[in-house]
Amino acid sequence: MSRVHTLGCLVFCLFAVAGAQAQDHQARDWVERAAKARTEHSFIGDFIYQHDSQIQTLRIWHAGDTADGIQQRIVSLSGDPKEILRSDGRVTCIFADDQPLVVDQRQIQASIGDRIPTDVDRLLPHYGLVLLGPDRIADRSVVGVALQPADSYRYGYELWFDEQTGLLLGAELRDNQSQVIERIMMLDFKLQDSINPQDLAPSLSGEGFTWLTHPGGQSDAAQPPEGVSARWEIGELPPGFELEMDRMQMLPGHDAAVRHLLFSDGLTAVSVYIEAADERDGLDGASKVGALSAFGRDIAGYRVIAVGEVPAATVEALAYALNRGEN
């Protein structure tokens, strides 16, 4: 091979590496911009939410900069009536009494847009950021960024950001075979100077509906069994996951508070619940509904259930990471 040809190949490779690094920086910039955009803008929009073989249509009111922080109200426009209210990290789900709790758990997890972290460095050891290029959603120009998982403990994401504002207008959750298992896409999107407070208030009330708030509280009359509130040891966690919350919480259908631990890798979260095992049927082993995985096991008279939008191996690992400590 001639020296000229060798030099040409070297120059080409250097330009290719430089181009890839520039795209990586652009992808990071878009993620960081999106994390800030949700606090800077208000909007109203209709969007679809697809999981399993189901498609739901929903409407969102998003107030970005209020005295109470970010506020949202999401209502279902198809299927069973349902509302989701978010205010400064507090989430209230209102749904029909006959809907299973697993439906609510999907909504209790922070929405994809809310999960985008301001600290992108935390993601980088466990996700690769790739710029996907331009597209169009809700008649607006968008730019796509892929978050590719570095291992099998988390799903991948494709996120589509509005060019003008940086707001998230579309997202796909992909499994380890790159199959889409959950999709959110804005159909109609209107920026607003502000949101009417009445549009952020719940409209569903009365008998036949359950209200569930997260983080939730407990009353003095609903103290947990002694072993639930006792010390539990946390063993080896899946890479990147850290404990972010540990509190007692009331759940529908429970007479006493349960222990709720929340683990996150900076983007996705897994809830682990600890309660006293009783005669009722409880989750034993693995269960999966679309992107939502769950795993339950009994430990010396107590039931540990892990649930989150992660692969089955992740919830199983987190369920087995907890063990009763010596009191």
> What band does 199 get if pLDDT is binned at 50, 70 and 90?
very high
Domain ranges of the chain: 7-200, 215-324
pLDDT score for 59: 95
Average pLDDT, stretch 116-144? 91
CATH 2.50.20.10 fits 7-200, yes or no: yes
- Cα separation, 184 vs 170, whole angstroms: 5
- Cα separation, 316 vs 293, whole angstroms: 9
pTM: 0.81
Whether the ω angle into residue 215 lies within 30 degrees of 0, i.e. cis, is: yes
> What band does 206 get if pLDDT is binned at 50, 70 and 90?
low
pLDDT score for 17: 41
> What band does 116 get if pLDDT is binned at 50, 70 and 90?
confident
Average pLDDT, stretch 236-256? 83
Tokens 């191996």 belong to residue? 313
pLDDT score for 230: 61
Percentage, residues of the chain above pLDDT 70: 77
Fold classification of 215-324 is Phosphorylase Kinase; domain 1 (3.30.200)
Average pLDDT, stretch 152-166? 96
Supply the DSSP string of 193-247, one letter for each residue.
Answer: S---GGGGS----STTEEEEEES----GGGPPPHHHHS-EEE-PPPTT-EEEEEE
pLDDT greater at residue 205 or residue 285: 285
Condensed to tens digits (0 to 9), the pLDDT of residues 21-44 reads 445 688 999 999 998 998 899 999
Cα-to-chain-centroid distance, residue 250: 21
pLDDT greater at residue 118 or residue 77: 77
pLDDT higher than 80, residue 103 = no
pLDDT higher than 60, residue 205 = yes
Q: Do domains 7-200 and 215-324 have the same CATH topology?
A: no
Average pLDDT over the chain reads 81
What separation in angstroms does the CA of 254 have from each of 163, 222, 257? Answer: 46, 9, 7
**Which range, 76-80, 88-92, 97-101, is most confident?**
76-80
Average pLDDT, stretch 214-218? 51
pLDDT score for 231: 74
Least confident among 68-77, 151-160, 271-280? 271-280
Percentage, residues of the chain above pLDDT 90: 45
Q: Which residues are CB-neighbours of 325 under 8 A, at least 6 positions away?
A: 230, 231, 232, 233
- Cα separation, 103 vs 237, whole angstroms: 26
Least confident among 29-38, 76-85, 97-106, 192-201? 97-106
Asked if 169 contacts 190 with a C-beta cutoff of 8 angstroms, the reply is: no
pLDDT score for 98: 55
